């Protein structure tokens, strides 16, 4: 008997090996060639999604801490702590996120280390360089020569005034804050130019700067406040790169009825609350302002603008309640207050945010009815005089 298996049996064994190999190759080829998931994701339309992380402010991106490298060995520990405690915070909650290492003359912001300098040196700007009044040439013919001033007419106005809740109706009158700020800005611009400045409007129409629309967000405030201010910040920080931003506003309360009195105050960035400091981006932006020293220009400038306003308008100073955790009086000046607003935090140069008049008050409405142009001229002139006075001093 031959020891070789019969041919049929040989073929059967071959099939036992070949079939599983064939199946494996077939499955393998299918898996490799399987088309990618073609399910179309929801249309993104290029709009930023609100940040999901609870440690970022709405629509914020995570900060790049290495951008603080430019402030290494620039500020003394004393100046750092003085600004942190007197301007940027009102209580000691900052200690949860900022640690001072006395032995090594350093601060820790989480993992990031900042080395203090034995003495204060001139700081760089955080995103771009801006001029202080000391940088201006002594022999300039006009006080604002060489200065770039961005004028930010607060809110959007026009048809957007209603959705942004900056519209008051009194009988036949409709008063819209964003429309009035633009009218004031259009008067202020040539006044500043006459004084030698290059004055640039952040918006020149009754339209938003942001490409977003109200319907992109469940909460319309994310459109007219957050997305709009972030878009303006991009224009200011990336294109205009000014030496100063003047934010024009008209105060107004939520009251539907006319209230008896008007008042006036100027807001400078500061007084970060515990909740704001808990946001990594806000903490970072606070440090950018603190380290670049915007406050050294903002306080003396705001003093001059307040003086010229007080001279012209005689409006009483507005006082925030002492119990307010989000505001504090600055430099013992009745008109100067520190508050952390999105605009005065994001615009990376000195910013003054002006809040005169009360647009739903009896005296304002009566004046508006008689001569609204007169209010805008008074406002613009007071700002121009104050700014000119500040930059005239050495
Ligand atoms: Zn306003």
Q: Write down all domains in the chain, each with its CATH number in brackets.
A: 65-115 (no CATH), 133-392 (3.40.630.40)
pLDDT, average across residues 44-49: 43
Model confidence at 49: pLDDT above 70: no
What pLDDT score was predicted for residue 44? Answer: 38
pTM of the model: 0.86
Q: How remote is the CA of residue 269 from the centroid of ligand 1, in Å?
A: 15
- Under the banding of pLDDT at 50, 70 and 90, the label for residue 17 is low
Model confidence at 227: pLDDT above 90: yes
Q: How remote is the CA of residue 215 from the centroid of ligand 1, in Å?
A: 22
Beta bridge pairs of residue 268: 338
CB 51 within 8 A of CB 59: yes
What pLDDT score was predicted for residue 211? Answer: 93
Q: How remote is the CA of residue 311 from the centroid of ligand 1, in Å?
A: 22
pLDDT greater at residue 12 or residue 47: 12
Q: How remote is the CA of residue 111 from the centroid of ligand 1, in Å?
A: 37
pLDDT, average across residues 382-394: 93
Q: Give the phi and the psi of residue 253 in degrees, each rounded to 5.
A: -100, 170
Q: Give the phi and the psi of residue 169 in degrees, each rounded to 5.
A: -115, 125
Q: How remote is the CA of residue 208 from the centroid of ligand 1, in Å?
A: 15
Residues 6+ apart with CB under 8 A from 38: none
**Which pair of tokens denotes residue 208?**
């938003």
Q: How remote is the CA of residue 249 from the centroid of ligand 1, in Å?
A: 4
Q: What percentage of the chain carries pLDDT values higher than 70?
A: 86
What pLDDT score was predicted for residue 170? Answer: 86
Q: How remote is the CA of residue 344 from the centroid of ligand 1, in Å?
A: 13
- Under the banding of pLDDT at 50, 70 and 90, the label for residue 4 is very low
What pLDDT score was predicted for residue 256? Answer: 82
CB-based burial, 214-252: b 16+ in 10 Å, e otherwise? bebbeeeebbbbbbbbbbbbebbbeebbbbbbbbbbbbb
pLDDT greater at residue 321 or residue 37: 321
Model confidence at 28: pLDDT above 50: no
Q: Is 271 exposed, middle or buried (0-12, 13-18, 19+ CB in 10 A)?
A: buried
Q: How remote is the CA of residue 294 from the centroid of ligand 1, in Å?
A: 22
pLDDT digits (tens, 9 = 90+) for 91-147: 999 999 999 999 999 999 999 999 999 999 999 999 999 999 999 999 999 999 999
pLDDT greater at residue 37 or residue 188: 188
Q: How remote is the CA of residue 225 from the centroid of ligand 1, in Å?
A: 10
Q: How remote is the CA of residue 250 from the centroid of ligand 1, in Å?
A: 6
**CA dihedral (368, 369, 374, 377) positive or negative:** positive
DSSP state, 257? Answer: S
> How confident is the prediction for the chain on average, in pLDDT?
89
Scanning the structure block, which residue is given the tokens 């609350």? 273
Q: Residue 212 and residue 180: Cα distance in Å, rounded? A: 23
What pLDDT score was predicted for residue 253? Answer: 87
The mean-pLDDT minimum among 22-26, 82-86, 174-178, 298-302 falls in 22-26
With CA atoms as reference, report the closest residue to 306 among 294, 319, 321, 316.
Answer: 316
pLDDT digits (tens, 9 = 90+) for 275-312: 999 999 999 999 999 999 999 999 999 999 999 999 99
Q: C-alpha dihedral over 301, 303, 306, 312, to 10 degrees?
A: -90
What pLDDT score was predicted for residue 12? Answer: 52
Model confidence at 66: pLDDT above 70: yes
pLDDT digits (tens, 9 = 90+) for 152-209: 999 999 999 999 999 999 888 999 999 999 999 999 999 999 999 999 999 999 999 9
Q: Residue 64 and residue 62: Cα distance in Å, rounded? A: 7
CA angle 78–343–174, rounded 5-degree value = 140
Q: How remote is the CA of residue 163 from the centroid of ligand 1, in Å?
A: 14
DSSP state, 89? Answer: B
Model confidence at 41: pLDDT above 80: no
């Amino acid at each position: 008997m031959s020891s070789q298996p019969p041919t049929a049996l040989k073929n059967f064994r071959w099939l036992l090996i070949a079939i599983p190999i064939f199946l494996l190759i077939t499955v393998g080829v299918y898996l490799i060639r399987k088309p990618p998931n073609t399910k179309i994701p929801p249309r993104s339309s290029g709009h930023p999604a609100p940040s999901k992380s609870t440690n970022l402010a709405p629509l914020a991106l995570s900060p790049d801490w290495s951008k603080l490298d430019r402030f290494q060995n620039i500020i003394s520990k004393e100046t750092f702590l003085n600004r942190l405690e007197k301007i940027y915070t009102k209580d000691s909650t900052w200690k949860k996120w900022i640690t001072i290492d006395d032995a090594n003359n350093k601060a820790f912001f989480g993992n990031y280390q900042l080395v203090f300098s034995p003495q204060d040196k001139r700081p760089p700007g955080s995103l771009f360089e801006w001029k202080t009044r000391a940088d201006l040439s002594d022999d300039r013919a006009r006080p604002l020569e060489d200065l770039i001033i961005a004028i930010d007419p607060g809110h959007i106005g026009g048809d957007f005034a209603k959705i942004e809740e900056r519209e008051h109706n009194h009988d036949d009158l409709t008063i819209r804050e964003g429309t009035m700020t633009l009218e004031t800005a259009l008067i202020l611009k040539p006044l500043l130019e006459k004084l030698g400045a290059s004055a640039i409007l952040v918006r020149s129409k009754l339209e938003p700067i942001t490409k977003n629309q109200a319907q992109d967000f469940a909460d319309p405030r994310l459109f007219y406040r957050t997305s709009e201010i972030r878009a303006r910040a991009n224009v200011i920080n990336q294109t205009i790169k000014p030496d100063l931003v003047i934010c024009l506003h008209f105060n107004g309360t939520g009251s539907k009825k006319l209230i008896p009195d008007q008042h006036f105050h100027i807001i400078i960035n500061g007084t970060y609350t515990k909740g704001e400091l808990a946001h990594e981006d806000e903490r970072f932006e606070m440090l950018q302002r603190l380290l670049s020293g915007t406050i050294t220009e903002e306080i003396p400038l705001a003093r001059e603008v307040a003086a010229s306003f007080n001279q012209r308008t005689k409006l009483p100073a507005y006082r925030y309640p002492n119990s307010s955790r989000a505001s504090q009086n600055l430099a013992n000046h009745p008109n100067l207050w520190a508050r952390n607003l999105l605009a005065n935090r994001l615009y990376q140069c000195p910013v003054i945010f002006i809040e005169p008049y009360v647009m739903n008050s009896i005296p304002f409405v009566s004046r508006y009815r008689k001569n609204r142009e007169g209010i805008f001229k008074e406002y613009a002139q007071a700002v121009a005089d104050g700014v000119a006075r500040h930059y005239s001093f050495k």
